[in-house]
């Protein structure tokens, strides 16, 4: 059985999962965290489900070797493609995935129109279709694939004129259609909240699921008597791309860390 002091493994296709990592640390400050950015294979949204499942098996095995007591898939596309496969492979291991916040958005909308910003892979998935059938039968949901946004954020671009033009091109059709609630369906997109606040009216609700993931992790660890009592170790980072790239972007999206290593391919 895992020790309470064992770390929690968190992964994403790149740096987007840092938005979820922050929510986990905020809610569970005693937990030691491991983070894998699979940036050598980003973006997942354009990859096949089989390819993503292979990557996730590799990352899960790595977290197992590191003694992780739980794993968080801080990536909507990875969850869609691989979480069922991992749960079958590791039935006793707490696994937490992401899903677009369709239920709270459907409850929040006043106009009855909800917009979804997400990757192509997430929007085309059967899981996303099932979410719409289950929670959004009484509202109109307009989906907007957003190619290019992940790559911009991976490069540390949160403010450029080109990013603003790209994001505005995705958001404006949703607003014109009467959308008053926006779902951020990719963990990279919460880093665009300041820019979104300049592009959408103040009364448009912007919803993501990072806090819900942290609550679910807390619940699963609590059920198994695995909540850490602290103090937490420094968060350790790995990347399948050049570690210097992650070192440069961490101060922008997280904070400075010297603990960045190459993820074994």
Catalytic annotation present for 75: yes
Round to whole Å and give the CA distance between 107 and 139.
9
Burial class of residue 95 (count of CB atoms within 10 Å of its CB; 0-12, 13-18, 19+): buried
- Kind and range of the H or E run holding 150: helix 149-154
Both structure tokens of 178: 């009467």
Query: What distance, in Å, lies between the first and last C-alpha atoms of the chain?
Result: 28
Round to whole Å and give the CA distance between 102 and 29.
28
DSSP characters for 158-204? SS-HHHHHHHHHHHHHHHHTT--EEEE-STTGGGGHHHHHHHS-TTS
Round to whole Å and give the CA distance between 89 and 60.
10
Pick the catalytic residue from 59, 75, 150, 183. Answer: 75
Burial class of residue 110 (count of CB atoms within 10 Å of its CB; 0-12, 13-18, 19+): exposed
Both structure tokens of 195: 């820019």
Angle of the 18-27 helix axis to the 243-253 helix axis, nearest 10: 50
Catalytic annotation present for 186: yes
Pick the catalytic residue from 186, 221, 226, 250. Answer: 186
Residues with catalytic roles: 75, 186
């Amino acid at each position: 059985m895992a020790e309470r002091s064992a770390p929690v493994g968190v992964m994403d296709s790149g740096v987007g999962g840092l938005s979820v990592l922050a929510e986990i640390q905020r809610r569970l400050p005693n937990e030691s965290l491991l983070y894998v950015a699979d940036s050598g294979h980003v973006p997942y949204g354009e990859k096949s489900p089989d390819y993503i499942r292979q990557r996730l098996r590799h990352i899960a095995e790595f977290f197992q070797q590191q003694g992780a007591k739980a794993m968080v898939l801080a990536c909507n596309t990875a969850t869609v493609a691989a979480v069922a496969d991992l749960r079958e492979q590791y039935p006793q291991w707490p696994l937490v995935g992401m899903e677009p916040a369709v239920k709270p958005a459907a409850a929040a909308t006043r106009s009855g129109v909800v917009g979804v910003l997400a990757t192509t892979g997430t929007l085309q998935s059967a899981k996303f279709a099932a979410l719409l059938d289950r929670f959004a039968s009484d509202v109109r949901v307009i989906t907007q694939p957003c190619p290019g946004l992940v790559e911009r954020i991976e490069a540390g671009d949160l403010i450029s004129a080109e990013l603003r033009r790209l994001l505005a091109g995705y958001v404006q059709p949703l607003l014109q259609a009467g959308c008053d609630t926006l779902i951020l369906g990719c963990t990279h997109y919460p880093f665009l909240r300041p820019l979104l606040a300049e592009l959408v009216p103040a009364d448009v609700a912007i919803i993501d699921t990072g806090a819900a993931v942290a609550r679910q992790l807390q619940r699963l660890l609590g059920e198994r008597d695995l909540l850490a009592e602290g103090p937490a170790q420094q968060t350790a980072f790995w990347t399948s791309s050049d570690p210097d790239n992650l070192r440069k972007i961490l101060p922008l999206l997280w904070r400075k860390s010297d603990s960045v290593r190459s993820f074994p391919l």
